[in-house]
Amino acid sequence: AAGLLCTALAAYACWEQLPPLPWSDPAPPRQVGVLLWWEPFGGRGRASRPLPDCWLRFNISGCRLLTDRAAYGEAQAVLFHHRDLVWGPPDWPPPWDAQVRAAGELQLRVLGDPEEAAAPGPRPPGQRWVWMNFESPSHTPGLRALAGNLFNWTLSYRADSDVFVPYGYLYPRKHPGDQPMGLVPPLARKRGLVAWVVSHWDERQARVRYFHQLSQHLPVDVFGRNGPGRPVPDSGLLHTVARYKFYLAFENSQHLDYITEKLWRNSLLAGAVPVVLGPDRANYERFVPRDSFIHVDDFPSASSLATYLLFLDRNLAVYRRYFHWRRRYAVHITSFWDEPCCRACQAVQTAGARTNSIRNLAAWFERGSH
């Protein structure tokens, strides 16, 4: 899928093409309605939470975000969150024919067979169905059951999505050289060496296996509800991590562009140097400077990585080099689920009449998986 909303940071020059920020000047938009068919992660049946004002939050004007399915025929785009699609039974929009258009309300299709439910049919003219997903292929069940040509666009963390919404990104500071504001404490207050916050402990995962190897050579303080973790202190995750020199930004699976809040929020925003395990170094360098993180693949073993971290702990001048990028860039953390909805609206505004159908969603999404 060709990116319709260019926020891919394929090189440093591409950092000038970041999504608009609240203080940027917007282009004149056209009015667009975006319908969120299911509220993410089981929101159906609950009272709908207020949807954001895209102009106030992200400086994207001309957007009408909807959760009322009665507005289905008015929406230029409909967002389908994958997890809710497979947790079903999915209640899909009916085929858009004369009978449906004349009816006072939609008669939804509620089908128990996923393959039967996930079938394309007539829809309002020009309407785009958007597949939205922020999990890795390893944690995206039911993908192969979806029929071809069901969706027109993809919205995900993948840079080649039609609507690219990463978990975070860097944007240039207005005044390079200014002292960055945030949680980063003076080095003298970084009393801990390595921290790791993990919510799902699974001994089969590469990140847990690597932790066991690394922790044989240096202390790692683990926080979380599962495994050997202890509760995050009352001061909160960011303030806790800020007091460590390094943070293990280990992804639960290794896939193309799957770089989550573990890097952006838990590490970069908190002010610890990230030690990453995920896609390869070249993939990370599409999004962040090469001297802003440490990759486990840079070392032949966990023992040699531990030796390097202990070296940095003793040599603060070298350690500080991992913070030089902060003079030029600041960290943006994506707001779920407000920002994806507004980005979808922005993409519709800029795409014009151009549309397409995705023939094989699984083949595209699983490409680049390790």
Cα 364-21-126 angle, rounded to 5 deg? 45
3-state secondary structure of 295: strand
Closest CA to 35 of 4, 3, 81: 81
H-assigned helices in 158-205: none
Alpha carbon 41 to its chain's center: 15
Residue (of 74, 100, 85) closest to 150 by Cα position: 85
The residues that bridge with 46 in the sheet, in sequence order, are none
Q: Which of 4, 31, 1 is nearest to 17 (CA)?
A: 4
74 is catalytic: no
Identity of residue 39: E
**What is the DSSP track for 164-181?**
E--SEEEEE-SSTTSPPP
Catalytic residue among 16, 135, 203, 285: 135
- Known catalytic residues are 135
